[in-house]
Structure 1
Amino acid sequence: MAPLRSDGGGETMNAAARKIQRIYLTLTLGNTLAASFIWGINTLFLLDAGLSNLEAFAANAFFTAGMVLFEVPTGVVADSWGRRASFLLGTVTLSVTTYLYYLLWQFSAPFWMWAVVSVLLGLGFTFFSGAVEAWLVDALQFSGYEGGMEKVFGRGQMVWGIAMLTGSVAGGVIAQATNLGVPFLLRVGVLLAMFAVAFWLLHDVGFTPERSTHPLRATRALLSASIENGLKNPPVRYVMLAAPFSAGVEIYVFYALQPYLLELFGDPRAYSIAGVAAAVVAGSQVVGGWLAPWVRGLVRRRTTVLILGGAASALTLVVIGLTHVFWLALVLLVLWALVSSAYRPVRQAYLNDMIESKQRATVLSFDSLMGSSGGVVVQPLLGRSADVYGYPASLAISGVIDLIALPFLLASRRQQHQADRANASTGTSSAESPLP
C-alpha cells in the first residue's frame, strides 16, 4: 500500500492520489493559460472588428448557445469513450476555432460568420467541461483518497487563478504592444502544446468507458441516467436551476467590466488596463481557492456558503453599477471576484457528492449547460441595456438578476441531503461551527 504523507494542508494523501492531483493541476494550468490570453481583451477585440455592443455580446451569446447545444453530447463522449478522448478532442477543436476567430477579425467579417464560429468555439470548451472534473473525482476515489474535495478543487482554482493572472496580463500587454489579434495566436500555440501534454499524462483511472456499437442507444441511456441523477434528483435539480442566473450574470460581468473600466479610466485604447482587470479577477481566484476549505470549515452546511456568497455577490454588483470612480470600481471588482471564487469549490464538492460515477461527466456537463443557457439569454439582454442605459446600469441590473438564484439554493438546502454536511470538519469541527 502506498505510504501516506501530509499534502501540506494538514491532510494525508497517498502517492497515487498526489500524482492524480499533480496531473489535474498541470492540465488546469495549461488550459487556463491558453484560454486567458484573450480574456482581458475579448470584448475590445469584437468591438475593434466593427461589432456593436449588442452584436459583441450576441456573439458571446452564440458561444454559450454552442455550449448549450453540445454540453450533453460531449459529456456522453466523456462517459462513453473516456475523459482522455474528450480532453484531446477539446484541444484540437478549440485551436481550430480560435484561429478562425482571428481570421474573422483580420477580414472584418459580417456578424453571421461570428455567430457560426462562436457556436463552434463553444463546442471546443464543452469537451473540457465535466470531463476533467469527473476524471479527477473518480481517479482520487480509486486511489483511496478520502479527504474533502473542497481542498483539491480549491487548489485547482488557485492554479486556475495564477494561470489566468499570467495569461490575461500578458494578453493585454501584448495586444497593446502589437495588436488585438496576437493573443489569439498565442492561445492556439499553447493549446497545441497541451494536446501533447495530455496525450502523455492523461489516462482514464478508476473509470472504464462504456463503449458501444450503438452510439445513439448509448447516448440515450446515459442521457436518461444523467437526468435521473440530475434534474430528477431534487437537491441537484435546484442547484442546477440556480445556475442560469448566477453563471449567466458572471459571464456578462466579466466581459462588460473590460470596456466599463476603460471608460472610467478615460483611455479607450489602454488595453493593458483591461488585462489588469482580468488579472484582478484571477488574483481573487487564487485567494478564494485558498479560502474555500477554511470558509467551509466555518459552517455546518455547504449551502450556507452558497447562499451567503450569492447574496454578497449580487449586492456587490449593484454597488459597482452605482460608482463612477475607477479605483473604487476596481476594489469592488476584487470583492466580487473574491466572494464568487470562495464559494465555487464548495459548490463543486457539493454537486459531485450527489452524483454517481458512471454519469458524472454527463451530469456535470448538464450543469454547465444550465449555466450556459442563462448566458444565451442574459448576455444579449444586458448588452442591449448597456447600449441603451450604459454599463453602470447594466451591472446594477446584473446584481438584481443574480438574486433570482437564491430561492433555488434555499430549496436545495431544504432537501437535507447528506452531501450538504459532508466533510464539515474541513476547517473546524461541525460542533464548533458558528453558523448553520
Structure 2
Amino acid sequence: MDAATTLPSPRRIQGTYYTLLLGNTLAASFIWGINTLFLLDAGLSNLEAFAANAFFTAGMLIFEIPTGVVADTVGRRASYLIGTITLATTTTLYWMLWVWESPFWAWAIVSVLIGLGFTFFSGAVDAWLVDALKATGYRGSLETVFGRAQIVGGIAMLSGSVLGGVIAQITDLGVPFLVRALVLVVMFVVAALLMHDIGFAPERGQNPLRATRTVFRASVKYGLGNRPVRWLMLASPFTAGVGIYVFYALQPYLLELWGDDEAYTIAGLAAALLSGAAIVGGALAPWVRRLFHRRTSSILLATVASAVVLLGLGLVHNFWVAIALVAVWGIASAIDDPVHRAYLNDMIPSKQRATVLSFDSLMGSAGGVVFQPALGRAADVGGYGASLIWSGVISAVAVPFVLLSRAQRSPADTAQRVDEVGGTE
C-alpha cells in the first residue's frame, strides 16, 4: 500500500480479517463432517483413510516453511491469493479421485497438494492481521481479536459442517467438495479487493534464494532459537497432531455409537458441536485470560483438560455422554487457541512473523504425520474408543513443554495489550 494512502482503521482491519476467516472456514467446513466417510466410501480402510490425512499433514510439513517465506518475502496478500486458487483446484481433484475410484497412491499425492494449499494461509493471515493492527494504532489485546475470530470461525464451521452433512444426505458425499471449491473461488475475488499488506514491506529487491535464506535463518533464530517459543512449538505435535486425528475420528465413532453408519447428518453433528464449542470458547477466552496473570496458565489448563476429556471419551459407550464430552473438548481447545496465538505473536518480530507462525503449524503437522496413521491403525485393531484413549495419553505429553515455556518468564506471558511487548528486532 502506498505510504501516502490513508491507513484504514483498526476496526476495518479486523472486519477484513473476520471476512477472510469466515469465507475460509465456511469453505473448509463443508467437508469436515463427512471427510472420513467420503474416504471410506471410496474404498479405503481406516488405516488408508487416516494415512491419506497423514499425507495431507505431510504436505503441510513439507511446504510450511517455503510458503511462510513466500509470505515474508513476497507478501501476505499474495500468499493468501495463491492459497485460495491452489486449494480450490486440489479440492476439485479430490472429488475426481472419488468419481474415478482411484487407487490409494493417487489419494496420497493429491492429499499432499491440498496440504500445500493450506500452508499458504497458515501464518500469512495472522501475520497480516497483527502487523496491520500495530500499524493502524490498535491498543487492545490480541486475545480479544482472536477470541472474536474463534466466534466467527465457529459460526462458519457450524453452518458449513451442518450444510455439508445435509447436502451429502440429499445428494451424495462428493457434492460438498464441489461447493467448497466454489466458495474458495469467491474468496479469491473478495481478498483481491479487500486485503492489502499494511505495516509490512516485503524486500522484493533481494535475490529470491538469498531472501529465502535470510528469512529462514532469522526465523530459526526467533523461533526454535527463542526458548519460550521453542518449548511452545514442541508441544504442538502432541496437541495439534492428535487433534487432527480426533476431529476426523469423531465422525465414524459417533455413527458407531448412534447405531447407523449412513446417518451423515449425525456425522456432521461432530463438526457442528466443535463449531459451537469454538463460539463459546472464543467468547470465554478473553474472560479466562483475565482470570490468570500469565497466559501459560490458560494454555496449561486447556491442555490438561483436553487430555482428560479424550481419555473419558474413549471409555464411554453412551452417545449422549460422548456428545457432552466432545463439547467440553471443543471448548477447552477453543479457549486455548486465542491465548496461544496471542502469546506466540507477541514473541515474534514482524519480518519473520509469517515464517515463525508457519514453524508452529509445521510442528503440529509433524505430529499429524506420525500420529494419524498410528491412531488409525489402533482404531482398526481395537476400535475408535481405544484410539481415543491413546489420543488422550499422547496429548498429555504436551504438558511438560508448556511448563518449560512458562519457566522462561517471557514478557509476552503477562502482556495485556498489543503494544506492550515484542515483535521487534
What TM-score bracket applies, with the shorter chain setting the length?
over 0.9
**Mapped pair 1:168 → 2:161:** yes
- Per mean C-alpha deviation after superposition, the further-off stretch among 330-339 and 213-222 is 213-222
Write out per-residue CA displacement over residues 77-121 of structure 1, whole angstroms, 9 at most, x where no aligned residue.
000010000000000000000000000000110000000000000
The equivalent position to 1:386 in structure 2, one of 379, 404, 422, is: 379
Q: Where does 1:135-174 land on structure 2 (aligned, <5 Å)? A: 135-174=128-167
2: CA distance between counterparts of 1:33 and 1:62? 23
Maintained 8 Å contact 2:140/2:417: no
In the aligned structure 2, how far is the partner of 1:402 from the partner of 1:248? Answer: 9
| Distance across 2 between alignment mates of 1:235 and 1:258 | 35
CA distance in 2, matches of 1:404, 1:52: 28
- The alignment status of 1:269 with 2:233, answered yes or no, reads no
Q: Which aligned runs of 4 or more in structure 1 are off by greater than 3 angstroms?
A: none
The residue that corresponds to 2:237 in the other structure is 244
Q: What is the deviation of 1:306?
A: 0.7
**Match 2:355 to one of 359, 362, 367:** 362
How many Å separate the matches in 2 of 1:138 and 1:351? 14
* Alignment RMSD: 1.1
Is the Cα contact below 8 Å between 1:139 and 1:205 reproduced in 2? yes
Aligned amino acid, residue 35 of structure 1: A
Q: Is the 8 A contact 1:296 1:424 kept in 2?
A: no
1:132 aligns with 2:132: no
CA contact (8 A) 1:88 1:195 kept: yes
Equivalent residue runs for 1:194-209 within 5 Å: 194-209=187-202
Q: Which amino acid aligns with 1:59?
A: A
Secondary structure at 1:309 match in 2: helix
What letter is aligned with 2:213?
Answer: R
C-alpha deviation, 1:55, in angstroms = 0.2
1:288-333 Cα offsets, whole Å, 9 max, x none, are 0010000000000000011111001000000000000001100100
Cα distance in 1 between the residues matched to 2:259 and 2:84: 38
Aligned twin of 2:422: none
Contact 1:261 1:326 in 2 (8 A): yes
Given that residues 158 and 275 in structure 2 are in contact (C-alpha distance below 8 angstroms), is that contact kept between their aligned partners in structure 1? Answer: yes
Provide the C-alpha distance between the structure 1 equivalents of 2:417 and 2:273, rounded to a whole number of angstroms. Answer: 30
Q: Which residue of 2 aligns with 1:68?
A: 61
Distance in 1 separating the partners of 2:27 and 2:333: 22
Name the residue aligned to 1:83: 76
* Offset, 1:418: 0.5
* Identical counterparts, % of pairs: 66
User: Post-superposition shift, 1:213?
Assistant: 4.6
Deviation at 1:15, TM superposition (A): 6.5
Match of 2:109 in 1: 116
Does residue 21 (structure 1) correspond to residue 20 (structure 2)? The answer is: no
Unaligned stretches of 5+ residues in structure 1: 1-13, 426-436
Partner of 2:294: 301
Alignment correspondent of 2:306: 313
Output the CA distance in 1 between the equivalents of 2:50 and 2:263: 21
- 1:157-197, Cα deviation, whole Å (9 max, x unpaired): 11000000000000001001100000000001000000000
- Alignment of 1:288 with 2:281, yes or no, is yes
SS class of match (2:9): helix
Partner of 1:355, secondary structure, is: coil
Match of 1:417 in 2: 410
- 1:212, distance to aligned residue in structure 2 (A): 3.7
Contact 1:150 1:346 in 2 (8 A): yes
Counterpart of 2:211 in structure 1 is 218
Partner residue, 1:96: 89
Shift of the alpha carbon at 1:373? 0.5
Structure-2 residue corresponding to 1:4: none
In structure 1, C-alpha distance between the alignment counterparts of 2:46 and 2:121, rounded to whole Å? 28
Per-residue deviation at 1:58? 0.2
Q: TM-score, normalized by length of structure 1?
A: 0.94
Match of 2:316?
Answer: 323
CA distance in 2, matches of 1:304, 1:54: 37
1:190 aligns with 2:187: no
Partner of 1:431: none
User: TM-score scaled to structure 2, two decimals?
Assistant: 0.96
Q: Give the AA of the match of 1:418.
A: P
Residue type matched to 1:387 in 2? D
CA distance in 2, matches of 1:42, 1:234: 37
Take 2:323 and 2:250, find their aligned partners in 1: how far apart are those partners? 10
Mapped contact 1:153–1:345 kept (Cα < 8 A)? yes
C-alpha distance in 1, partners of 2:203/2:115?
A: 25
Mapped contact 1:297–1:424 kept (Cα < 8 A): no
Q: Shift of residue 424 of structure 1?
A: 8.2
- Pair 1:15–1:359, CA change in 2 (3 A): closer
Give 2:278's aligned amino acid: Q
* Residue identity in the other structure for 1:175: A
| Per-residue CA distance 1:201-229 (angstroms, 9 max, x = gap) | 00001110111452111111100000000
Instruction: Please tell me the residue identity of whatever aligns with 2:338.
Output: P
Counterpart of 1:9 in structure 2 is none
1:397 and 2:385 matched: no
Q: Which amino acid aligns with 1:289?
A: G
Tell me the CA shift for residue 200 of structure 1: 0.4
